[in-house]
Amino acid sequence: MRRDEKARAAFVAGLRRHVFNDLSKSLRCSYENVALPKFRRKAGRAPSTAVEVRDLLASNEQFRFYSCLRVASQDLLYHCVRAPLERAQPALVRAARRLARDVKIGSLELKRGFKVPRSVSAIDIHLMPGSYHTEYAANDLTMGAVYEHRLHISTFGVFGPNLDDIGQSIARFLRLRHPEFRPQRILDLGCTVGHNTGAWKDRYPDAAVVGIDVAAPCLRYGAARARAQSRAIHFKQMNAEALEFPDASFDLVFSSMFLHEVPRQGFLRVLRECHRVLRPGGLMLHMELPPTSQLSPYDSFYLDWDGWYNNEPFYRAFRAVDPRQAVAAAGFSAVDYLQYVVPSLTAFGPARWATAAAADEQVVDQATGRLADGIRWFCFGAHKR
């Protein structure tokens, strides 16, 4: 990147931090001190749903300013990363080929004629032009590079320098809580560029780790990224709703921020596929947004912002599902359901993290799943009998 492009990226990262930290606090303050009292006087109660909160704030100047600035900052992300990455596209392709030739670990398996689901191909998810799947040249990996570099800017350090805080935090948490669990085969669903997939290889180095996704550019980039980091990961182009693996072939099936990108019926098919490919005694674990039922109406409204304004059409329907019921409907025993609130390793630091991880924390309205100080990750899943 040129110096002016680096300066622009630093500005956008700072703007995003301001929106997600300072402006979000101002928005809550405006709700509690201005909008909520008016609603109470009129209705004799507080809003009981996220939709009521949104309707209440629709004309609120603070909310409109917050939303406009957040959308603008999202648009600026792609202006920051596209030009330098388009210039670098031929060099990226050459580097990926060189790594595939020289670093004999891991693998990449793409399918000729693979049909990308419309839930991806018809939507510019996260307002990202071209979504995850668009290819501009032979062996293209541009959209994988766009995704990773915009994530660096948009999360302003919350995900750690390698963007793998979710994977590192949860893998470390699992080793702490279940030291006897030693998975030999691990599957990461919707892995994009494998930024969280690699954490499982770090924590369980003897395991075979497989990451699947529907987007070829992301998989190409992810395979090159893993090789550059000396991580032996196997990337395959595959739809998580119809896994092409035998029954009982994995010990751990994981995903991070993936299920809310899938239509509701597809999400239920994914859970059934997880049950099918897990071995008895195996574990399914998904890091996701906390369900609507476990948050206050205001905090549920805050998380649902993406579903209304950030091209996330399946977001709100996913959060409305009771994860315990969904897991039971997929074939798992209801008594084997589990959920955790995992502290972020980056946010807490190793010493504080160990203390926080030892506690049985519940969902925290203003921290769980949000880009905020003291962030925590919500996970749900089940053991297979």
pTM above 0.85, yes or no: yes
Residue 56 lies in a domain: no
CB-CB contact of 163 with 346 (8 Å): no
14 within some domain:
no
Inter-helix orientation angle 142-154/3-17, to 10°: 50
Half-sphere CA count of 194, side-chain side, radius 13 A:
35
Provide the domain count of the chain.
1
Tell me whether residue 329 is in a domain.
Answer: yes
Which range of residues forms the domain containing residue 170?
A: 150-383
On the 0-12 / 13-18 / 19+ scale of CB atoms within 10 A, 33 is exposed
CA distance 189 to 210: 9
17 in a domain, yes or no? no
Q: Output the domain CATH number for residue 344.
A: 3.40.50.150
Q: What's the pLDDT at 367?
A: 57
Say if 186 falls within a structural domain.
yes
Tokens of residue 175, six digits: 């080793």
pLDDT of residue 351: 87
| pLDDT mean for each 10 residues of the chain (385 residues) | 92 94 94 95 96 95 96 93 90 94 95 94 91 92 94 91 96 94 97 97 97 98 97 98 98 97 93 98 96 93 94 94 96 94 92 87 63 82 96
Q: Judge whether 327 lies within some domain.
A: yes
Amino acid 373: pLDDT: 66
Q: Is residue 41 part of a domain?
A: no
Question: Looking at the domain assignment, is residue 377 inside a domain?
Answer: yes
pLDDT at 366: 57
At 118, which helix (H) or strand (E)?
helix 118-121
d(CA 26, CA 21): 9
